[in-house]
């Protein structure tokens, strides 16, 4: 994936950036800082607004008691109805492709299974990942596979698939890094490989030093 820096003085791009910023401001203003969207997939502006107001995943996983501000999942931009009681958990290991993982266990699976991404946990369990707005990156981007990761996410009763909410990797020094994709032109985060939601330019893989969210570090008893 190529990266693209912001070419100063390029009027067209600056206009696009201004348009993005306008969207964000309008959205924040219109919603009094609370991001709302009814679409299944969060819009770029909702994501950007979430980021701009520094809510990001900090909002994610707040206890249901935190009613006033905790009603919107800032990471997904969706109402948290129905997921409030689902507990966020931390799973650690490496993400690999299912066919390879099965092969190492002496199970030969046909090609139909080869693209399923699974977390191979530290204890050797295989946990299949849902390919959704966040988990999809593991299916798309082999740079995220076969390396140590911490995944914050959730499982629903009766469903073995893990829904990823936050992805952490580790740099060469072993320091924890939060992973997303970033558009240098529009300064907005995205979570899967695609043209920028706003300017359509290429986005780049980004790692930032960041700790686990507090609700994982200090779970309620």
Residues that bind Zn ion (CB under 5 A): 183, 185-186, 196, 198-199
Closer of 168 and 182 to Zn ion (Cβ): 182
DSSP string, 107-156: ----GGGTT-EEEEETTS-EEEBP-STTTHHHHH-GGGSSSEEEEEEE--
Chain centroid, CA 23 distance in Å: 21
Closer of 73 and 184 to Zn ion (Cβ): 184
Closer of 22 and 64 to Zn ion (Cβ): 22
Closer of 27 and 91 to Zn ion (Cβ): 27
**Closest separation in Å from C-beta 204 to Zn ion:** 11
**Closest separation in Å from C-beta 73 to Zn ion:** 23
**Closest separation in Å from C-beta 195 to Zn ion:** 8
Closer of 14 and 36 to Zn ion (Cβ): 14
What's the CA gap between 128 and 161, in Å, rounded? 5
**Closest separation in Å from C-beta 186 to Zn ion:** 3
Could you tell me which of 46, 17, 22, 23 has the C-alpha nearest to residue 34?
46
What's the CA gap between 194 and 44, in Å, rounded? 12
Tell me if 162 sits within 8 A of 91, measured CB to CB.
yes
What's the CA gap between 54 and 74, in Å, rounded? 9
**Closest separation in Å from C-beta 21 to Zn ion:** 11
Tell me if 121 sits within 8 A of 90, measured CB to CB.
no
């Amino acid at each position: 994936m190529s990266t693209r820096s912001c070419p100063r003085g390029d009027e067209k791009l600056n206009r696009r950036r201004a348009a993005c910023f306008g969207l964000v401001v309008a959205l924040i203003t219109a919603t009094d800082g609370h991001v709302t969207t009814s679409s299944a997939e969060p819009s770029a502006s909702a994501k950007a607004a979430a980021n701009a107001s520094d809510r990001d995943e900090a909002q994610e996983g707040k206890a249901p008691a935190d009613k006033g501000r905790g009603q919107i999942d800032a990471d997904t931009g969706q109402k948290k109805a129905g997921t409030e009681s689902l507990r966020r958990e931390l799973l650690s290991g490496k993400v690999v492709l299912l066919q390879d993982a099965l092969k190492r266990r002496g199970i030969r699976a046909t090609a139909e299974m080869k693209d399923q991404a699974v977390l191979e946990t530290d204890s050797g369990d295989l946990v299949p990942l849902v390919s959704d707005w966040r988990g999809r990156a593991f299916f798309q981007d082999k740079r995220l596979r076969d390396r140590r990761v911490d995944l914050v996410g959730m499982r629903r009763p009766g469903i073995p698939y893990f829904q990823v909410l936050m992805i952490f990797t580790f740099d060469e020094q072993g320091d924890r890094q939060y992973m997303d994709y970033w558009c240098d032109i529009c300064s907005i985060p995205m979570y899967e490989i695609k043209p920028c939601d706003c300017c359509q330019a290429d986005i780049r893989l980004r790692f930032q030093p960041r700790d686990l969210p507090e609700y994982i570090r200090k779970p309620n008893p």
